[in-house]
Amino acid sequence: MMKIQPITKFDIIIIGFGLSGITLLLEFLKRTNKKILILEKKKKLERDKTWCFWNKPANIFTKKNRKSWKKIIVMFGNKKITKYDESISYNQIFSDDLYDYGKKKLNQTKNSKLLLGQNIKKIKENKDGICIESNNKLYLAKYVFDSRPSKLISGRLVQHFCGIEVEASKNIFKTDEVILMNFQKHTDKVQFFYILPFTEKKALVESTYLSNVIFKKNKYISDIHKFLLNKYPNVSFTNNYREIGVIPMYRLKRRNSYNNFFKIGTADNWVRMSSGYAFQNSFKNSKEIVRRFIANRKIKIKERKITIFLDKIFCKFILNYPSEAQKIFLIFFERLNIQTIVKFMNDDYSILDVLKILFILPKIRLLKCMFIVLLENE
Ligand SMILES: Cc1cc2nc3c(=O)[nH]c(=O)nc-3n(C[C@H](O)[C@H](O)[C@H](O)COP(=O)(O)OP(=O)(O)OC[C@H]3O[C@@H](n4cnc5c(N)ncnc54)[C@H](O)[C@@H]3O)c2cc1C
């Protein structure tokens, strides 16, 4: 049996050097001088996600983005809706931009550090704090923030996708417009392609589904190949980067097992249920956590009950009436201006905005879904 080495003490331990772990770390480094340890499972940090976010509210990457688009396109068969507003942009970074930024800020500190290759399984509480065992070493901290994902519940609605960065043999992509959703017709699920053009030849093309059945990776890849072949029959493509994701479209139960132990990120519902976006929430929630930490107040994230309620109704609609869900997206994008859409997606809307949205949507089926949500009371 290997001998466990003595305990090393920290003020704060963050499990996971991903989106929520890094945004929280950055906020702690900015506003406190606590001794922080980050334990990350991956052995190497490289690009594994392409993050996009609206330019409002601003975050550290708003101006340091890799690419930014002002024309937002949503397509339903031959119908193309273009949204444009000079003040709104859809910004993009690669996940390694955030990893590098987090590492750079850590290197500027004396007492905080990141350890890679740490697959955390054992966590215990003792009288001195919370104890974490990793690779035969013990780490102790008064506060632990844990971004390990929760197990997904099979049969529940999820957003599942695979994206491929393709390089075309000809100039085919319009670099000033992003295709947010190009809907495909299905009766039992919602599917759309998401296209982020980086250059006229290079783009990330993603096949995304909203359904309760997940596919094998090859299915999404063959979707993308078929889509490209159909749209650009005389163009050949190469690719060398892929990313995949399965994101819950339901609320995860909050389980903070110990005092001063907090789930963060996807495991704490930081991903918006209806859209799968978490980038802006991670900055907002990390700020809130550190603000409360400094003020010595109970650490919890404030959530708008109305947003949770509306998202639950919307997700219930997708699950129960997938063939009609496109109609909701169509009305949403056709009738609302992009400012209202962005406010809604960023959870920064007024009651008037909600009324504007509810007024235009098909009511009977939505009301049915609302009653189901109320009856389920989850
Ligand atoms: C491919 C992809 C693209 C996305 N694109 C967008 C987007 O464009 N815009 C947007 O707003 N949202 C997007 N999302 C949703 C969301 O922003 C991301 O999922 C985001 O990474 C969630 O942050 P997180 O901190 O919860 O998880 P992660 O960023 O995955 O971080 C969790 C970290 O914990 C580590 N970990 C896991 N288990 C252990 C363990 N046992 N011990 C130690 N460490 C562990 C992981 O390796 C990981 O580094 C995307 C999601 C995916 C999957």
pLDDT by position in tens, the chain (length 378): 556 666 889 999 999 999 999 999 999 999 999 999 999 999 999 999 999 999 999 999 999 999 999 999 999 999 999 999 999 999 999 999 999 999 999 999 999 999 999 999 889 998 889 999 998 899 999 999 999 999 999 999 999 999 999 999 999 999 999 999 999 999 999 999 999 999 999 999 999 999 999 999 999 999 999 999 999 999 999 998 999 999 999 999 877 678 899 999 999 999 999 999 999 999 999 999 999 999 999 999 989 999 999 999 999 999 999 998 988 899 889 988 999 999 989 888 888 888 877 878 878 888 999 999 999 876
Tokens, residue 301: 């994230």
Ligand 1 atom 21, closest CA: 19
Buried b (16+ CB within 10 A) or exposed e, 139-151: bbbebbbbbbebe
Selection from 280, 292, 287 nearest residue 342 by Cα: 280
Task: Collapse the DSSP code of 52 into the 3-class scheme (helix H, G, I; strand E, B; otherwise coil) and give the result.
Answer: strand
Atom of ligand 1 nearest to the CA of 16: 34
C-alpha 120 – ligand 1 centre gap (Å)? 16
* Same topology between domain 5-65+90-149+254-294 and domain 158-248: no
Closest residue by Cα to atom 10, ligand 1, is 277
CB 41 within 8 A of CB 16: yes
Task: Say what the pLDDT of residue 8 is.
Answer: 86
Distance separating alpha carbons of residues 44 and 41, to the nearest angstrom: 9
DSSP state letter for 275: T
Say how many Å lie between the CA of residue 19 and the centre of ligand 1: 6
Q: Given this model, what pLDDT does residue 7 score? A: 83
C-alpha 96 to ligand 1 mean position (Å): 12
In angstroms, rounded to a whole number, what is the distance separating the alpha carbons of residues 140 and 11?
A: 8
Pocket test residue of 148, 160, 178, 346 for ligand 1, highest count of atoms within 8 A of CB = 148
Residue nearest to atom 16 of ligand 1 (CA): 278
Q: What angle do CA 113, 115, 119 make, to 5 degrees?
A: 145
Q: What is the CATH architecture of 5-65+90-149+254-294?
A: 3-Layer(bba) Sandwich (3.50)
Query: Structural domain boundaries of the chain?
Result: 5-65+90-149+254-294, 158-248, 305-376
Out of 3.40.50, 2.60.40, 3.30.310, 3.30.70, which CATH number does the structure's domain 158-248 have? 3.30.70
Cα–Cα separations (whole angstroms), residue 270 to 19, 114, 136, 140: 10, 23, 32, 26
Measure the CA–CA gap between 339 and 337, rounded to whole angstroms.
5
DSSP 311-355: HHHHHHHHHH-HHHHHHHHHHHHHHS-HHHHHHHHTT---HHHHH
Backbone φ and ψ of 25, nearest 5°: -55, -45
CA of 365 to the centre of ligand 1 (A): 33
Whole-number pLDDT of residue 5: 66
Task: Choose the residue to mutate in 72, 101, 266 for probing ligand 1, maximizing ligand atoms within 8 Å of C-beta.
Answer: 266
Say if CB 161 and CB 244 are below 8 A apart: yes
What is the distance in A from the centroid of ligand 1 to the CA of 368? 34
Question: E-strand spans in the chain?
Answer: 5-15, 36-39, 50-54, 67-69, 71-76, 79-84, 90-94, 113-115, 122-126, 129-134, 137-146, 158-168, 177-184, 190-197, 202-211, 237-248, 261-263
List, for residues 367-378, the tens digit of each pLDDT value: 999 999 999 876
Residue type at position 314: F
**Hey, whose CA ends up nearest to atom 32 of ligand 1?**
18
Pocket (CB within 6 angstroms of ligand 1): 15-21, 39-42, 49, 51-53, 118-120, 147-148, 243, 245, 247, 265-266, 271, 276-279
Q: How many CA atoms lie within 13 A of 87 on its CB side?
A: 9
Q: Which residues are CB-neighbours of 280 under 8 A, at least 6 positions away?
A: 53, 54, 57, 59, 346
Query: What's the pLDDT tens digit per position in 154-210?
Result: 999 999 999 999 999 999 999 999 999 999 999 999 999 999 999 999 999 999 999
Strands (E), 212-318: 237-248, 261-263
What pLDDT shows up at residue 332?
Answer: 87
Rounded to the nearest 10 degrees, what angle do helices 279-294 and 19-31 cross at?
40
- The CA 18 to ligand 1 mean position distance, Å, reads 5
DSSP run (H or E) holding 224 = helix 217-231
- Is pTM beyond 0.85 here? yes
Q: Which atom of ligand 1 is nearest to the CA of 280?
A: 11
Do 235 and 196 touch, CB atoms closer than 8 A?
Answer: no
215 CA → ligand 1 middle, Å: 20
